[in-house]
Structure 1
Amino acid sequence: MKNIVREDGAARMKRIHDDIREIYLADARPWVVGYSGGKDSTTALQLIWSAISELDKERRTKPIYVISSDTLVETPVVSNYIDVSLKRIAQAAVEQDMPVITHKVMPEVDKSFWVNLIGRGYPAPSRRFRWCTERLKIEPANDFIRSRVAEFGEVVMVLGVRRQESATRAQVMSLHSIEGSRLSKHSSLLNAFVYAPIADFSTDDVWTYLLQHASPWGNDNRDLVAMYRNAASGECPLVVDTSTPSCGNSRFGCWVCTVVERDKAMEAMIDSGEDWLTPLLEFRDMLAETQDPKRKLEFRDHRRRTGGVSFIGDTDRVMPGPYTMDFRRTLLRRLLETQRAVAAEAPPGEAPILIHPNELQEIRRLWRTERGDWEDSVPRIVRETLGRDAKYIEPDWVSEDAVAFTAEDGELLNGLCEEADVPVELVMRLLDIERGSHGLKRRHGVHTRIEDAFRLEWRDHDAVVAERRLAIGMTAANDAAIVDDDELELPFDPDGEVSR
């Protein structure tokens, strides 16, 4: 393919600018520009900005929303870069009278990474099941787009996607193209259309453009070049559908990503002098260790979140469920220790908040209501780990009601259940059912909930496996060798059903 920028560059830039202005002025549909801070989205936004700025102010009437996705677990160096860039974009829009509005989209607290991983016990994402992408990226971006569709009827998404990114990307772009139009249909959102101004750019075209054209909002594009060089990485794009390339390929993205075997981008940043990121890499590597097939049941419950037990095929091998409560407590403590270590070493103004107070509140709620955490572990772990650290503001813990159980109650219950040889978790569930119905005039549903509780699996792993072996005629001597669960089981479904 011919080089778009270097071959008759001025004429080609004029043609692209004319194209952008023509599409912008063709209708009243607002534009939503996906900005990830990387080279491709920066190039697309600069082209849009430069083209629209050449219009008379009276014609710059249609809003251009610049949205950036914050998963709340972004690599801190990249997250800081995007935050600074968005502030500059917003300020420059006011100064230059541009119809640009910046907006950061992020997941709802109950969908956040830590609430799902630590609160609900979802295992670290794997190749077979990236439960994070839908919740952290696609849903927040699509919610924003839908809100604009509801307001304006239709929108045009401007994305920095290129056919050269991959054969899959080129195929998807062709599949959704509209004959006779420079726009294409969005793959999943109704009344949303896609415009890709750099669709035919090569990687060289992108870098040449960025180095030859100054940022309209005052960034130094050489800083972007340096960030890529230090990370030896590619761009993590704004994800708006499942066809958008994932970040699990040593790209800029989430610092907790366990989809890849090694986080080469983070390693390269540390080798380039960002030593303060080391605790993040160590935490990420610890998460990755929980995916070792031989060790999964060290970290994960043998029961699903629904309380049942599933087996892999016709074997006696238990399909691992969510992380155990003990390990979730360990994860929370390690995460807070990591936050404290990073805060102590990070350059001024760059220390990230790894977990936010509202996430801690939600984790606490889930542990108390779903797992019977009578000892109220979250506030205790926060205080023991962070103490009176002035750099971190402890959440204003929501007080529990008068019938909440305490750690002392838990100790007494443990002793009584041990004497009676009754599963303590079963009794805790029954007491929680009774507490939940406290004060209700109509209690007809209580008996059903009690019956449901008794139907759940309360035996330990060994007892469950022993029964399974009897059922399928196996003995310990006939145990199959341990292999990678990813090769045998369907993707983990955190809510207890097998994902299809």
Structure 2
Amino acid sequence: MRMKNIESGDQAARLKRLYGDVRDIYLSDARPWVVGYSGGKDSTTALQIIWTAISALPPEKRTKTIFVISSDTLVETPVVSNYIDVSLKRIAEAAVEQSMPVITRKVVPDVDRSFWVNLIGRGYPAPSRRFRWCTERLKIEPANDFIRSRVAEFGEIIMVLGVRRQESATRAQVMSLHRIEGSRLLKHSSLLNAYVYAPIAEFSTDEVWSYLLQNASPWGNDNRDLVAMYRNAASGECPLVVDTSTPSCGNSRFGCWVCTVVERDKAMEAMIDSGEEWLTPLLEFRDKLSETQDPKRKLEFREFRRRAGGVTFIKGTDRVMPGPYTMDFRRKLLRELLETQRQVAREAPAGEAPILIHEAELQEIRRLWRTERGDWEDSVPRIVRETLGRDPDFKEPDWINEDAVAFTAEDGELLEMICSDNDVPPELVMRLLDIERASHGLKRRHAVHTRIEEAFKLEWRDYETVVAERRNALGVAWNGLAREAEVDEELELPFDGEELAR
């Protein structure tokens, strides 16, 4: 790769001016800085420039805190995740040794917003280009929550981001739109009292790599390792995302290992070809998720009812707009995920085996299945025992309290038999019993009647009955009923209005 030498001639003078600008902005006020660090080339360059400039100040002038935050979606590609963990540890240690006012933080999504809780717990379909529900929950919200907490503490903050105009025309347009006249800062696109400083805004890709290879990492990383990682992953990175204008991770190489926004995970394939064969089970699991996006096969994996309980048809047709993954498929996904975790743990290099799903996520999935889906058989702990050979490490009070009032698998089998004899949907009766159970012991039960009424308003009929009614409504002359149109149903209507509105 041909690179410009940014240390020579005018470029060296330009870099000297940049260091001066960093120090001027740092010393101009008391607003703390929050540096977005993704571990990729751009964010590493930005942080290294900030570090080098501030370290030239006398220790007594390094009074303003610099937070270095990294966003962990909990489904990051393990090789990249390990690299970031090691880097953050080195940054924190170097900050102490060099008397730098740097504090590192890793931000993660809340448990109830995590990828697996949404996909397996609530049944959200694998993300696609037209229904990318993951970015906001996994990246934007955790980073913005941290920024808001610092704004609440200090009044205003400055975000330092490794964004460049040459990334894309859209990025250049957004940066120009939020420019502050007479200032080197930009307005943040969505967060009040947050400003953006982009020290490498005018850098080209060649200049970024040239800087990294000509300047040693202040915290002890070897930037050649970063070059090698890019080569192994066919280049690209997943930036810290703090608003919807930030380039999507879907088209980058260092994204989540479960990403189904792209047709093929070329980064993972390249890493495996480069010697990381232990990642193969992750790629195979990701490809299985991708298969569920085939328009012709969606109803193999997903319910015909929406999460809110109704049925929606694509306008003018009898084609049902699929809802969440079925409970049977969710159980299958959980089992295969845990089996993948066990297989990767056996094959990964020492110390690199990732935790694919955390205990807190398993517990939240269990809660959702039991409270929303009437999972009387209590599938989660059973699946954990059968795949991992151990009991899940759930919090004991929740475990005991839930079991004390829960129905059992035997109760479910008996109910199925009685409902079958009386031609009554067992799911409806389960819902009614769960409503009653949830209100047991309450002194005021006026809300119970409302919830029961709402339950009866949901669609409890089977698929064939609902579709037949739709066909009758369309008229006998309609002849396009069975066509397999290549339609992405999520384009027509939000998957779950109540969830998306949170």
The size of the alignment, in residue pairs, is 495
Distance 2:140 2:83 in 1: 22
CA contact (8 A) 1:30 1:156 kept: yes
The equivalent of 2:6 in structure 1 is: 5
Q: Specify which of 225, 229, 232 is matched with residue 231 of structure 2.
A: 229
Please tell me the residue identity of whatever aligns with 2:442. L
Alignment partners' CA distance in 2, 1:191 and 1:3: 37
When residues 66 and 496 of structure 1 are mapped into structure 2, their CA distance, relative to the original with a 3 A threshold, is: closer
Aligned to 1:445: 447
1:77 pairs with 2:79:
yes
Query: Of 354, 357, 366, which aligns to 1:355?
Result: 357
The TM-score normalised by the length of structure 2 is 0.96
Q: Please list the CA deviations of residues 269-298 of structure 1 after superposition, one character each: whole Å capped at 9, or x if unmatched.
A: 000000000000000000000000000001
In 2: Cα distance, 1:293 partner to 1:318 partner: 11
What is the CA deviation profile of residues 19-46 of structure 1, one whole-angstrom value per residue up to 9, with x for unaligned ones?
1000000000000000000000000000
1:12, distance to aligned residue in structure 2 (A)? 2.1
Contact 2:381 2:392 in 1 (8 A): no
**Equivalent position to 2:313, from 311, 314, 318:** 311
Letter in 1 for 2:355: I
**Residue 465 of structure 2 corresponds to residue 463 of structure 1:** yes
* 8 A contact 1:319–1:489 mirrored in 2: no
Name the amino acid aligned to 1:386. Answer: L
CA contact (8 A) 2:139 2:241 kept: yes
Equivalent position of 2:69 in the other structure = 67
Kept after mapping to 2: 8 A contact 1:162/1:196: yes
Q: Does 1:427 align with 2:425?
A: no
**Alpha-carbon separation, structure 2, partners of 1:136 and 1:250:** 16
Counterpart for residue 241 of structure 1: 243
> Counterpart amino acid of 2:472?
L
User: How many Å separate the matches in 2 of 1:70 and 1:177?
Assistant: 29
Q: TM-score, normalised by structure 1?
A: 0.96
Give the Å deviation of 1:233: 2.3
Q: Distance in 2 between matches of 1:96 and 1:465?
A: 69
Whole-angstrom CA distance in 1 between matches of 2:213 and 2:257: 28
Match of 1:190 among 175, 189, 192: 192
Q: Residues of 2 paired with 1:491 and 1:208: CA distance?
A: 47
Aligned amino acid, residue 178 of structure 1: I
State the distance in 1 between where 2:485 and 2:172 align: 36
> Match for 1:50: what amino acid?
T
Equivalent residues in 2 for 1:251-400 (5 A)?
251-388=253-390, 394-396=393-395, 398-399=399-400, 400=402
Conserved? CA contact 2:67–2:104, under 8 Å: yes
Using the alignment, how far apart are the partners of 1:347 and 1:483 within structure 2? Answer: 46
Change (3 A) 1:339 1:42: same
Deviation at residue 498 of structure 1 after TM alignment? 9.1
Runs of 4+ in 1 over 3 A off after TM superposition: 392-397, 474-478, 495-499
Where structure 2 has 5 or more consecutive residues not aligned to the other structure, the ranges are none
User: Cα deviation per residue 1:463-487 (whole Å; 9 max; x = unaligned)?
Assistant: 1100000011147854252122227
Task: Give distance in 2, aligned partners of 1:14 and 1:490.
Answer: 53
Match among 492, 495, 500 for residue 493 of structure 1: 495
Q: Does 1:102 align with 2:108?
A: no
Shift in CA distance, 22/489, structure 1 to aligned 2, threshold 3 Å? closer
For residues 338 and 372 of structure 1, the distance between their equivalents in structure 2, rounded to whole angstroms, comes to 27
Distance of aligned partners of 1:203 and 1:19 in 2 relative to their CA distance in 1, 3 Å threshold: same
* Cα distance in structure 1, aligned partners of 2:388 and 2:234: 34
Structure-2 residue corresponding to 1:202? 204
Question: What's the CA shift for 1:443?
Answer: 1.8
C-alpha displacement of 1:445: 1.9
For 2:164 and 2:490, how far apart are their aligned partners in 1? Answer: 36
- Show the counterpart of 2:122: 120
1:210 to 1:481, Cα distance in 2 relative to 1, 3 A: same
Q: Which runs of 5+ in 1 are unaligned?
A: none
Change (3 A) 1:241 1:77: same
RMSD after superposition = 1.7
CA contact (8 A) 1:4 1:12 kept: no
Residues 53-64 of structure 1: matches in 2 within 5 Å? 53-64=55-66
Q: Secondary structure at the match of 2:158?
A: strand
What is the aligned partner in structure 2 of residue 410 from structure 1?
A: 412
